[in-house]
Amino acid sequence: MNPGSSGNAQKDKEYGLLGFIEGHPGNIPDTDVERISSYPHLVAREFLAFGLMLATLLVVSFLFDAPLEELANASKTPNPAKAPWYFLSLQEMLHYAPPFISGVFIPGLLVMVMCTIPYWRGRMSLMPIMFLLSAILLPLLDGIVWAGIHAVAPGFADATRSLGFPTFIMLIISAFGIGKLLLNPYFDDEARVEVLRKRLFLVFVGIVFVLVMIGQFFRGPEWRWVWPWQ
């Protein structure tokens, strides 16, 4: 990016300081990268990709029929009643934590934290990813921790059950834990932060994927565990 170091800035030209700021409109572009006009090179590839996608879609549509069950009937509840597959990770969490936590609080938090990802810098960029991870893992522990609270203060535990307090408490504790972890000098190195951030995000995506798969293929009546061949 640095025109001085790349040695490609023109010698007989003067450059302002703004030219060195990445993303600034006055930034001096690298002159050593080979550029190519998007028409027809990119446009042709887009058309090709679109054509291939359309062809694949047509073949799939001829081979597999979209499901259509019997007419909707409010008095006949199917067991289990499943949400669309992309919401099955939430429905799976619904099995462990109260609906407010798994259906509203956690998804809202996931979206908001997801939006902040680009705005963290250095070691702090691990923060949102760790938060995503704990937000999807902690509701799975909610029931166990709630049982613990119930053993100590049954009245309080019962009265606040629908709010899913254990998840809140665990999120706060894990936030402190994450903060402590981030102070570790191990993360002084940006490259280590980078590697860990990628891995943690992949773990997060993996957990969501596994939850969706469990909800789709391994859950039967009363949301009991069922093997696909049963």
Partner 1 sequence: MSEQPEERRLIRRLRNWVRSTAASKYLHSSDSGTKHSVFSGGFRSALKSDIVTSLPWRSVFARPYPQTPKDNSEIAITSFWIHLHPASIRKETLKFSVTYGLGGLACGLFMVLAATGIMEMFYYVPATDHAYKDMVDLQHVVSLGKILRNMHRWAAHAMVIIVALHMLRVFLQKAYKAPRQLNWVIGVILLCLTMMLSFTGYLLPWDQLAFWAITVGTNMAGSIPLIGPKVRYVLLGGPNVDQATLIRFFVLHVVVLPMVISLFMVFHFWRVRKDGFSGGK
**Given the rule CB under 8 A, which residues bind partner 1?**
22-23, 33-43, 45-46, 49-50, 53-54, 57-58, 60-62, 64-74, 76-78, 81-87, 90-91, 94, 98-100, 102-104, 111, 114-115, 117-119, 162-163, 194, 198, 201-202, 205
Please state the closest distance from residue 96 (CB atom) to partner 1, in A.
14
Closer residue to partner 1 (CB): 8 or 61: 61
Token code pair at residue 114: 């997801």
> By CB neighbour count within 10 A (0-12 exposed, 13-18 middle, 19+ buried), where does 123 fall?
buried
DSSP state of 130: H
> By CB neighbour count within 10 A (0-12 exposed, 13-18 middle, 19+ buried), where does 128 fall?
buried
* CA distances from residue 98 to 41, 51, 94, 150, 207 in whole angstroms, order as listed: 53, 46, 6, 15, 20
Closer residue to partner 1 (CB): 84 or 185: 84
Please state the closest distance from residue 136 (CB atom) to partner 1, in A.
15
Closer residue to partner 1 (CB): 67 or 221: 67
One-letter amino acid at 109 equals L
Neighbouring CB atoms inside 10 A of 228's CB total 8
Closer residue to partner 1 (CB): 14 or 65: 65
Please state the closest distance from residue 71 (CB atom) to partner 1, in A.
5
Distance CA 91, CA 82 (A): 8
Closer residue to partner 1 (CB): 66 or 151: 66
What's the half-sphere exposure (Cβ side, CA atoms, 13 Å) at 59?
6
Please state the closest distance from residue 174 (CB atom) to partner 1, in A.
21
Please state the closest distance from residue 100 (CB atom) to partner 1, in A.
4
